[in-house]
Structure 1
């Protein structure tokens, strides 16, 4: 009961955030979506290349045994590179709709860095929470709709916390 209500609430908040981000503009929405994808991709490759080389402990072995701290750091570095590149591209192409990164950078580079790192961390949290829910339910995949992908929730797990938080951060930066 409580898990279902929490899941529905998370999905509803993420959907509202997507709708609001789309109203803000496609550049803004894509910048948030791409942040999550970049964090995931860079974390994967950094984890494969450097996993457990600098640390002795996995990130959360009982929840998601394949994740390492090196992967988290690689994901964060990837998001910082993405944020810098996107901010530069917004300026070079004089984007009519500022991205999340440009909105944060307008308040200072420090907010861009802190905001991007925070969003990357929340992306990891979303992924871990979904893995925890699957473990507690005793299932490997959240659905069979996307074979080999862990289910539909694996495609959106990191977006659930990051979309609403991106909207909050954006409004904080604009205030």
Structure 2
């Protein structure tokens, strides 16, 4: 399993890094669109669509990206607000009530899926337009929160965060991830880094105090996104969203925490 995970990671980095660092914004947008299509297919499967239905569902998400791109709306945040509203309202509701994936709730998930994925794609494009450093700074918030939560959870975790959804997560881990994000943000500001980042943007436009609160909110919603997908998988009776990434699960397994963070972060800029 470890060998498979490493090979998959190397292949993914060999594709992603050149596109991020030396590719054009259009090439990056195209790669992100492929990720959206795969995520749409997985989302469809998790909410109960059959094989053909899930394929068409992924194609629908890709069509939305194409229409947004062709219509010249790529850099107009038309998808960010509805996605943010969903995450702010439906995300916590899902974790609190754990509604079954059927009836009206299933209908809402079917409608919301493409919107959330297209919004994530648009947020990625908007971040890339501000520069590679800015794009990476948004992604790193989620990666640091996850890494800090894993490390702190293993070392200090006692109080379960959501035992019925993801038994391995703890409140101590979540706090550890949050503290790591704030510590790295402070280090970035102290370094005097000239490249624009979301940290420098928040500090200059909101001030240190409000900027720290914004980062705290983004970390909280990274946890919401992670638990939201875990809830979908649990109700679908699957361990991973798919097997597209050998050793790592599916695309949604890798971007679940990013789905709420990306539109919320870009709305602030």
TM-score, with length taken from structure 2: 0.58
Q: Alpha-carbon deviations, 1:76-99, whole Å to 9, x = none? A: 00110121122233x2x422xx21
- C-alpha displacement of 1:4: 2.8
Q: CA offset at residue 5 of structure 1?
A: 2.4
Match of 1:30 in 2: 136
1:138-174 Cα distance to aligned partner (Å, 9 max, x none): 111101122332322111000000000001122xxxx
> Which residue matches 2:197?
99
Q: Give TM-score, length-normalised by structure 1.
A: 0.88
User: Does residue 82 of the first structure (1) align with residue 180 of the second (2)?
Assistant: no
Which of 177, 194, 210 is 1:111 aligned to? 210
Corresponding residue number in structure 2 for 1:132: 231
Find the aligned partners of 1:149 and 1:78 in 2 and give their Cα distance.
24
Aligned-residue CA RMSD in angstroms?
1.3
Larger Rg: 2
Gaps of 5+ in 2: 1-106
CA distance in 2, matches of 1:66, 1:147: 22
In structure 2, the residue corresponding to 1:67 is in which secondary structure?
strand
